[in-house]
Structure 1
């Protein structure tokens, strides 16, 4: 049999305020095409189908379309909830959807009800583990420590017991676990919501060593923890920290002897990301940056003084700049002082105003601005005298 592993669709997410719905539709169409063309038997979506617990109606419509089109390929669909999903909303009508070939694991009670796929000379047992919030499930799983390692360990122990009973029935069983968590050894990115503080969210990878394959979600970079434990990553980049990631899905082949092969299917990049750094004039003139003119851009200007109207000037060449930062380099090193210290040293109203402007934008007022300040100060004084 052939499985496709994807995750972290985050339907409804925006990119620095810009809608991604149409881009998400396009990349989901690619996954649908891969499912059909590569003759995939089951699609595994390991959590974070939506970007928020209460998704926008357009995101729900997009999900409905995607699942319908995937099901038309003949593939069985298996989804687990992620930390961005509402388990109760995602799992609505899951018992009814089972009969339609769409299996949703959103509640811990379903973990011992694997989806059994018939491979002829073997079965594939897919155990879906929904996102387990430790304090919400620790009593149900009978653990005394509110950590991701504790609840994941308890869940997997129960599943392994069920799997052992299944294998005693005689037919070869290839075991697959699906989970949404931070496995030790994984590389994160800026677009993932932290599960907990102080590394309490990290789950040891060895907990999954008894499964033939583990399909993980949560980390947005496609990666291997071990040969049989993998993240598919998100199908789109959701932060500039993902600029160098190659987005895609994993294809996993099974046989009576277990996992027989892995393939990667690379997804196209609907809109590139560009991280640019340099003086404003250099960035606007550099011919090698032509590729960034149609990309989402994160720009850091290194001019010694912050340029006036910087964003507008940057966007004359890079119109889709969504992040602009400043890191002045070179020039005369200025003595750092607090705003209160500046005010204490000021000897005139004009200097107070000038120091305030420099403090908030890291640049002295230019000649025209100084003339305007002087005019306002003079008018204010004349008005006070006339009273």
Structure 2
């Protein structure tokens, strides 16, 4: 029994103001949105070539509860490709897909009629039988009720049993002392009598137990993921093999901090120029300069710095004064430390009945006004 484990595709994610310039159907769209489409399309290409018995998607197919018509149309096209090839896919809803209010409904209902597409999104534990495998799916939820449902899962009378969860795991450093309201479970809640546990929510490829893995996301979404490979897992239960397959992803470069305490403006510019990597073409680049004297900060030529990063898809310069106050000079988008945090916060929160993109635009305009910036 061979299957593919994929997760956290976040279709429809958008950030920065860079637009896709490539000729074709994506021209003029937000470049980061296009990146999510291309990585998923490449994944489907691979899946059709690999011919697995089933694909398991362990949550956050979309980046929001209410994806755009364009995003829904793209997902529909890719599912129809898989259906035409006779490759079933089982998807559980992640935290970006679960409405807080039951009456809100779910976009996953749109895919219920496509042959071979099985969506688990109604809140409860569901089982799907594919050949010799029973898939035990539990969509994202918070609170004790989730743990009760989790502990009720037990193997079915089939040759193989696989569990799918979208949750944090306490043994993973990323979820220790987390200040968010994410659901985090102990390793003991993972069913050790399962042949495999397909985890989603953490964006890096990570082994938790011998039979429990995060496949990670298919694209990079924050600088914390800059050094992570992106892709999916191919598991063959008959042979007992697991293989991580990388997908092309947008390069993100978070450059080492520059300490400017003893640098004048000219020396700082030279230091910045000497810190530019060899290949930044198409990359998302962030540079942080610490302990800048006020006299130096006021004389920094942002235009000259921008020219050094002109081939990057997005460049962000964060400047911290010697009094520990942050200011930002950014190109391709007016984003900096607080702006980046705001976008990450909005992206990570389910927002119902309101256009999430509109919230981002309004929030950024207020932050720019507060900082004395203008378009």
TM-score, scaled relative to structure 2? 0.70
What is the SS of the residue equivalent to 1:32? helix
Q: What is the RMSD computed on CA atoms of the aligned residues?
A: 2.7
Q: 1:280 to 1:307 in 2, by over 3 A?
A: farther
Are 2:123 and 1:108 equivalent residues in the alignment? yes
Greater helix percent: which structure?
1
1:225 aligned residue: 208
1:60-99 superposed matches below 5 A: 60-86=72-98, 88-93=105-110, 95-97=112-114
Deviations along 1:72-123, one digit per CA (max 9) or x if unpaired, are: 33211100101111453233156534xx1100000134x24x22122xxxx1
The gaps in structure 2 that reach 5 residues or longer are 19-29, 100-104, 259-267, 326-370
The question of whether the paired residues in 2 share the 8 Å contact of 1:294 and 1:318 is answered with: no
Deviations 1:285-311 (A, max 9, x none): 45x612124311111134542254654
Q: Deviations over 1:302-337 (max 9, x none)?
A: 4542254654332212134443211357xxxx799x
Unaligned 5+ runs, structure 1: 135-146, 337-359, 362-387
1:165-184 matched pairs, under 5 angstroms: 166-167=156-157, 172-184=158-170
State which of 271, 279, 293 in structure 2 corresponds to 1:282.
271
Tell me the distance in 2 between the aligned counterparts of 1:156 and 1:26. Answer: 34
1:28 to 35, 40, 43: 40
Partner of 1:273: 252
Matches within 5 A, 1:2-13: 2-13=2-13
Kept after mapping to 1: 8 A contact 2:164/2:199? yes
Q: 1:93 to 1:300 in 2, by over 3 A?
A: closer
Q: State the Cα deviation string for residues 174-221 of structure 1 (Å, max 9, x = none).
A: 1111111111222439xxx9751xxx7320122122211111111111
Question: Judging changes above 3 Å, is the alpha-carbon distance between structure 1 residues 313 and 326 closer, same or farther for their aligned structure 2 residues?
Answer: same
1-side partners of 2:242 and 2:225: how far apart?
Answer: 23
User: Which residue is equivalent to 1:263?
Assistant: 243
Aligned 8 A contact 2:66 2:107 in 1: no
* Aligned match of 2:184: 202
Matched, 1:323 2:313: no
Q: Residues 330-345 of structure 1 correspond to what in structure 2 (within 5 A)?
A: none
Output the CA distance in 2 between the equivalents of 1:218 and 1:74.
27
In the alignment, the residues of structure 2 paired with residue 40 and residue 115 of structure 1 have an alpha-carbon distance, to the nearest angstrom, of 16
**Which residue of structure 2 lines up, in the alignment, with residue 137 of structure 1?**
none
Q: Which has the higher contact order (CA 8 A, sep 6+)?
A: 2
Aligned partner of 2:130 in structure 1 is: 117
Give, in angstroms, the shift of residue 67 of structure 1.
1.7
Q: Is residue 187–residue 219 contact of structure 1 (8 Å, CA) maintained in 2?
A: no
Q: Where has structure 1 moved over 6 Å in runs of 4 or more?
A: none
CA distance in 2: counterparts of 1:64 and 1:268, whole angstroms:
22
Is residue 221–residue 234 contact of structure 1 (8 Å, CA) maintained in 2? yes
Is 1:241 the counterpart of 2:224? The answer is yes
For residues 151 and 86 of structure 1, the distance between their equivalents in structure 2, rounded to whole angstroms, comes to: 15
Shift of 1:273: 1.0
Larger Rg: 1
Matched pairs, number: 292
Distance across 1 between alignment mates of 2:230 and 2:93:
21
How far, CA to CA, are the matches of 1:267 and 1:335 in structure 2?
39
Contact 2:12/2:63, CA 8 A, preserved across alignment: yes
1:178, 1:194 → 2: CA distance? 25
- 307 and 313 in structure 1: CA distance in 2 versus 1, 3 angstrom threshold: farther
Kept in 1, the 8 Å contact 2:150–2:189? The answer is yes
1:144 maps to: none
SS at match of 2:75: helix
1:24-83 C-alpha deviation (Å, 9 max, x unpaired): 222112211221222212111111111111112221122112222233332111001011
- Equivalent in the alignment of 1:153: 147
- Find the counterpart in structure 1 of residue 344 from structure 2: none
